Structure 1
Amino acid sequence: MNLASTIDEALYKQVKTQRGFTYSYFFSPPTAGKPVIFFSHGFPSSSYVWREQVAFFKPLGFGLVVPDLLGYGGTDRPTDPKLYIGSGLAQDVVNIFDAEGIAKVIAVGHDWGSSVVSRLINLHPNRVSACAFVTVGYGAPNPAAKAVITQPGMMTKMVGYETFAYMRFFCQPDAAEIIEKNIDSFLCLVYPEKTEIWKDNMCVEGGARAWIEGNTINPVASYMTPELLGHERSALLKGGLAAPLCWYKVLLEDAKAADDAAVPAEAHAVMQPLLFVASTRDPVCLPIFGDTNHGKHAKGVVTRREIAGDHWVLESHAAETPSLVLKVSVLLKSAHTSARPAKILGEF
């Protein structure tokens, strides 16, 4: 099952990028005068996670580009982490835009998808008219990113606990095999009924490995219906976890550090109108991370909205997030036509 199974299978297409990868993506062209929205998913999702947004925006005439990003769904699944560097992923997406004759997009990212939107802004700013970041904010190029994995205790000094401890397990050679063997335990950990599960297990050294190796089972969040959980399980087992985990493993690669270092400092600024949808009950991707980056790098109109939800607000608050994203088109218009955009934004 993918996004097409609930909307229109005929609207999924494929393109081979200049790096030689075949991407699968949902595409619906815009009606006259409407912008195109690019939706960028994260781990362990696929284009399917944006199905509610597609169902909302398509009847309104917005153009939509919703790919399975590298390693997921119907897109190629290389297992060399070096292939997941930011410049390469951004170029792949630009190749999709080119294939459809799209000059500019409103770029919307969630989780790791926010990193793709960020590199689009850095390396192809003329292709992004406005941007929205859901749960995970804009991230500037960071050649020292591997410190999050290689320096235990760093995050504890910053926020009081080890927010990204689980990444060290995800980067281990046997992580994919362990997760696939205990897929239901993995899903219980990723989509728990109580967010404390993340803080007590994913944010504790060795906690994620112990949970999944022990095949721990707990109630999942109510928004993860049996049908949705079944989709996640079958999609992950069909393609395996080796490729999706490369999004974490690339953090340890020298190629990633060099790729980030090559981005000029002046390109770190976000000049486009920016919307940040902060999830106040996410114990890992804390809103302060996005707020800090936006305060440092966002130079255009910035709007911040909060949702009292966990990391998966695209599922738990499916009726709320499309209307928030719709604000991006208002942001774009106000940034170009109003001398006092903050006043207009305050009327949202």
Structure 2
Amino acid sequence: MHSLHSLALLSLASTVCSNTSSVSTKSLVTADGYTYVYDHVSPHNASMPTFLLIHGYPASRYYWHHQIQPLAEAGFGIIAPDSLGYGDSSKPTAIEAYNLRAIADHMAQILDAEGLQDVVGVGHDWGAPVLSRSVVFHPQRFSKLVFMAVGYSPPGIFFDVDKTNEQGLENFGYTPFGYWYFFNSYDSAGIIGQNLESYFHLVYPTNSSAWDTNFAQITAARAWLAANKTTELPSWLSTDDKDNWLRTYSQPDTVTATLNYYKGLMRGVQAESEASLTDEDRELKVPVLGLGGAGDLVTLSSTLTAATKPWAKAGYEERIINSGHWLMLEKPDEVNQILIDFAKPTRRGAQDGGL
């Protein structure tokens, strides 16, 4: 990997200040030429770790805005990037660019640029597969891990979306990942882009309990957008939140770029780069927390332990809260306290699971 001393690290703006910390927005050009934009807070002292907050789909670093100041005021450092394809970061449209090992390398380069070695990795939704690769290929970076909504995704093990949907249909009466087939289709980006406000209301639902029929089922997302449906805002989002999202996803190539995470995984773009891994390589050798929402009908909280605990060799804990998919937005205070308690430097991971 290229030395980060040779890469561009530019401070763009100081965006938030408090009596105890300041949040600056920075950019970095990776060794392979992509620009990442991220929010940064330095830890209060050398004994405090830094959170690496990796957002999911369809979001951006903005969706950690309820977490950044409370975590900073508790003394932690923070790195919250726009992942490749999102927000203010580069948006390559080639599916091959979304090799998750390469994106994990980008995350490591950001940590290198900030000189960070004691990192608590947090991945929500698609941030979880990115975090999974980050810890496997750069294990020395991480002291603890938090998988939110989606559990550990061991690199080099085939994810069978068809089997997952078959099991969901048998066990729950619907296909939890039925929407993946729409996302993988040739016309998905065009349909979403033409009905962007309707799409916002689909993925940020007023009623999470309707996701099984409105979103998850095969053809449901396409049908929702064809009807250009909208709803009221959920209570946990503001008009400013919606406007921010619409501005972000109206940027050229954003819809196409972000869908490429799904297309890349379904088409095996990282298969070759992960083929040599062994089960020992995939083991998680630091304490792990699984954090899920009881009302999430797509990334089911019941799958967190099954996906993660067998690989967590230094202890696994799980917390399921009364939330839908967007835990950090729906229950910010509860999520913040869970993160703070888990990440405290004096805290050791549970050996048997459970709190």
Q: TM-score, normalised to structure 2's length? A: 0.88
1:215 aligns with 2:215: no
- For structure 1, which segment, 83-92 or 136-145, has the greater mean C-alpha deviation from structure 2 after superposition? 136-145
| Structure 1 residue 157 displacement after superposition | 3.7
Query: What is the CA-CA distance between 1:219 and the residue it aligns to?
Result: 2.8
- 1:255-302 Cα deviation digits (max 9, x unpaired): 222233332221111111111112100001111221101232111122
Q: Specify the alignment match of 1:229 in structure 2.
A: 242
1:249 and 1:149, CA in 2 relative to 1: closer, same or farther beyond 3 A?
A: farther
Once the two structures are TM-superposed, the CA of residue 188 in structure 1 deviates from its matched residue by 1.2
2:283 corresponds to 1:283? no
Give unpaired runs (5+ residues) of structure 2. Answer: 1-12
**Structure 1 counterpart of 2:147:** 133
Q: Which moved more, 1:70-79 or 1:155-164?
A: 155-164
- Quote how far apart the aligned CAs of 1:34 are: 1.4
2:149/2:291 contact within 8 Å kept: yes
Structure 2: distance between partners of 1:151 and 1:277: 21
Select which of 29, 32, 47 maps to 2:61: 47
The AA in structure 2 aligned to 1:76 is: S
Distance 2:259 2:284 in 1: 28
Matched residue type, 1:226 = T
1:198 & 1:345 partners in 2: Cα distance? 28
Q: CA deviation at 1:154?
A: 5.1
Percent identity among equivalent residues? 30
Deviation, structure 1 residue 7? 2.3
Equivalent in the alignment of 1:263: 277
Query: In 2 relative to 1, CA 216–306 (structure 1 residues): closer, same or farther, beyond 3 Å?
Result: same
Task: Quote the Cα distance in structure 2 between the aligned partners of 1:343 and 1:256.
Answer: 33
Structure 1 pair 173–292 and aligned structure 2 pair: CA distance change class (3 A): same
- Counterparts of 2:30 and 2:215, CA distance in 1: 35
Q: Which residue of 2 aligns with 1:103?
A: 117
The equivalences for 1:1-348 within 5 A come to: 7=16, 11-32=24-45, 33-145=47-159, 147-148=160-161, 153=166, 155-157=168-170, 159-239=172-252, 240-330=254-344, 333-335=346-348, 341=350, 346=355
Which amino acid is 1:169 matched to? F
Aligned mates of 1:34, 1:323 — CA distance in 2: 16
The answer on whether the counterparts of 1:31 and 1:63 sit within 8 Å (CA) in structure 2 is: yes
Q: 1:143 to 1:235 in 2, by over 3 A?
A: same
Contact 1:28 1:58 in 2 (8 A): yes
| Rounded Cα–Cα distance in structure 2 between residues aligned with 1:254 and 1:92 | 19
Going from structure 1 to structure 2, the CA distance change for 1:207 and 1:344 (only over 3 Å counts) comes to closer
Name the amino acid aligned to 1:55: Q
**Cα deviation per residue 1:144-196 (whole Å; 9 max; x = unaligned)?**
22x31598635424544210001111111211111111111111111111123
Q: Which residue of 1 aligns with 2:6?
A: none
Distance in 1 separating the partners of 2:136 and 2:299: 22
Contact between 1:86 and 1:260, CA under 8 Å: does it hold in 2? no
Q: In 2 relative to 1, CA 212–149 (structure 1 residues): closer, same or farther, beyond 3 Å? A: farther
Question: What stretches of structure 1 of length at least 5 have no aligned partner?
Answer: none
- Taking the aligned partners of 1:90 and 1:343, their CA distance within structure 2 comes to 29
The AA in structure 2 aligned to 1:238 is Q
Q: Which range moved further: 118-127 or 194-203?
A: 194-203
Q: Which amino acid aligns with 1:202?
A: F
Note the alpha carbon deviations across 1:66-92, whole angstroms, 9 max, x for none.
111000111100111221122101100
CA contact (8 A) 1:148 1:155 kept: no
Q: CA deviation at 1:221?
A: 1.5
Compared with structure 1, are the counterparts of its residues 11 and 137 closer, same or farther at alpha carbon in structure 2 (3 Å cutoff)?
Answer: same
Q: Which has the higher helix share?
A: 1
Aligned equivalents of 1:68 and 1:56: distance in 2?
A: 20
Could you tell me how far 1:216 is from its partner in structure 2?
Answer: 1.4
Give the deviation of 1:342 after TM superposition. Answer: 5.7
Supply the distance in 1 between the matched residues of 2:239 and 2:307 (Cα, whole angstroms). Answer: 37
Q: How much has 1:6 moved relative to structure 2? A: 6.3
TM-score, length-normalised on structure 1? 0.90
Contact in 2 for aligned 1:131/1:328 (Cα 8 Å): no
